Amino acid sequence: MRMKKNMGYCLIPKSRRHRIVQIPVLSKEMVSVTVPRRQHDSLELVSNMIKTLSSIAFCLVLSAPAMAEEFTVTQVGLSYDPPSITVSPGDTITWVRTGGTHDAVHGNPCFEADSQGLFPDFPLFDIPLTGANPTGSWTVPDAAPGRIPYFCSVGSHCQQGMVGEIIVVPREGSRVVVVEQQGLDFIPLEIEVSPGDTVVWNQNNGGHSVHTASDLSTCTQDDVFISLPLDFDYTQVVWEVPENMPETLDYFCIYHCELGHVGTINRADTCEPIDLNCDGFVNGADLAGLLGDWGCSGGSESCPGDVNNDGTVNGADVALLLAGWAP
Ligand SMILES: [Cu+2]
């Protein structure tokens, strides 16, 4: 069952004298922050801003596109209910037993997914559903196949139709970058992404893989980010770019690396000055960063809070940030 998201929206209606900033909060009510429209650097403004920071903290959690969800699959007789669920990286699936002895094993029915040493995480899960272990959970990793089949390996349950599937799609609100495998090419060869974006690789022909590299010149995998097949059984790889994504991440197909079947993922490092933490949003986190730099002088190089680069972090910077508010 998909749990409903409880999100508000940040609206910035114009008013003559004041700018009203509405912030999404846990309840349906909106928090209004009223700040003087004219820029000035009085201490009163700062103290008002600090007072509103606790409200804005609510916004920090909800303004991120990624919000993990919980799903439940119930074993009913020789079936999983629902037999197919659609999830995103970071979501958690819990299987619940109602009777008998069963399990939920990742694999193409009715064989457990075989790593052959190439995919160390396969099978992705093998969850017993017995009297002693009536429930079990699995959290979808950052990198996952777009479709994950699973089955019950007990007796002939699988042969009798006890199978299920997990469809992994980019999280709602996530920017999606698509790479197509064509022959021994990944197209485009280079992409640029930010944490929170989702990269999708599509298989078009032949058997391949996506393995991130610690050393591309020797086709050595990093065992950190991605190690997944891209073939007839697993036609898609979905990767939600994590915060610890390095500046540059090379990857290769483990079958054809020496033949040049490789690609590169670059971390986008261009962001607006008012997006202080460079997360793609201008929100309370950036405002907090700016206020943390209050009074700092020496230019935006040494004081990121000096968003207008006039030599001092002051009310003018706060005004500029609020004018570009985009949570
Ligand atoms: Cu290949």
Q: How many CB atoms lie within 10 A of CB 246?
A: 13
What spacing in Å lies between the alpha carbon of 126 and ligand 1's midpoint?
28
Listed in sequence order, the residues at least 6 apart from 27 whose beta carbon sits closer than 8 Å to its beta carbon are none
Q: What is the pLDDT of residues 122-172, one digit of tens each?
A: 999 999 999 999 999 999 999 999 999 999 999 999 999 999 999 999 999
Angstrom distance (rounded) from CA 83 to CA 130? 19
Centre of ligand 1 from the C-alpha of residue 207, in Å: 6
Task: Give residue 221 CA to ligand 1 midpoint distance, Å.
Answer: 14
Distance 232 CA to ligand 1 centre (A): 12
| Ligand 1 centroid to residue 138 C-alpha, Å | 29
The per-residue pLDDT for range 60-85, each reduced to its tens digit, is 444 444 589 999 999 999 999 999 99
pLDDT of residue 279: 77
pLDDT for the residue 2: 37
Q: Which has the closest alpha carbon to 224: 207, 208, 235, 210?
A: 210
Q: If you measure from the C-alpha of residue 183 to the centroid of ligand 1, how many angstroms do you get, rounded to a whole number?
A: 7
Distance 92 CA to ligand 1 centre (A): 31
- Spell out the domain ranges in the chain: 18-64+281-323, 70-168, 176-267
Q: Cα of 9 to ligand 1 centre, how many Å?
A: 44
CA 86 – ligand 1 centroid, Å: 28
If the chain, 327 residues long, is cut into consecutive pieces of 10 residues, what is the mean pLDDT of each piece?
34 31 34 38 49 44 64 98 98 98 96 86 96 98 98 98 98 96 98 96 98 96 96 97 94 97 90 79 89 86 84 91 89
C-alpha of residue 116 to centroid of ligand 1, in Å: 16
Residue of 252, 239, 253 lying closest to 208 (CA atoms): 253
Best CA proximity match to 35, nearest among 287, 308, 271, 249: 287
Q: What is the reported pLDDT for 302?
A: 79
In 140-247, the DSSP E strands lie at: 143-145, 147-151, 163-168, 176-182, 185-187, 190-193, 198-202, 208-215, 220-221, 227-230, 236-240
Query: Angle at CA 42, nearest 5°, toward 36 and 48?
Result: 55
Cα(284)–Cα(22) distance, rounded to whole angstroms? Answer: 12
Q: Which homologous superfamily is 176-267 in? A: Cupredoxins -  blue copper proteins (2.60.40.420)
Distance 261 CA to ligand 1 centre (A): 6
Task: Report the separation in Å between the CA atom of 185 and the middle of ligand 1, taken as the mean of its atom positions.
Answer: 8
Supply the DSSP symbol for 216. G
50 phi, psi to nearest 5 deg:
-65, -40
CA of 52 to the centre of ligand 1 (A): 53
β-pairing verdict for 198-202 and 176-182: parallel
Work out the end-to-end distance of the chain between its first and last CA atoms, rounded to an integer number of angstroms. 28
CATH code assigned to 70-168: 2.60.40.420
Output the pLDDT for position 40. 42
Q: How far does residue 209's CA lie from ligand 1's centre (Å)? A: 6
In the Cβ-directed half-sphere of 94, how many Cα atoms lie within 13 Å? 11
Contact 142, 128 (CB under 8 A): no
- Dihedral over Cα of 20, 66, 128, 101: its sign: positive
Output the CA angle 250-255-260, nearest 5 degrees.
Answer: 50
CA distance 142 to 124: 12
In the reported structure, the alpha carbon of residue 182 is separated from the centroid of ligand 1 by a whole-number distance in angstroms of: 9
How close is the Cα of 263 to the center of ligand 1, in Å? Answer: 11
Ligand 1 centroid vs 143 CA: distance in angstroms? 18
- State the pTM of this model: 0.66
Rounded-to-integer distance, Cα 181 and Cα 189, Å: 10
Q: How remote is the CA of residue 231 from the centroid of ligand 1, in Å? A: 9
- Amino acid sitting at position 153: S
Distance from residue 250's CA to the centre of ligand 1 (Å): 14
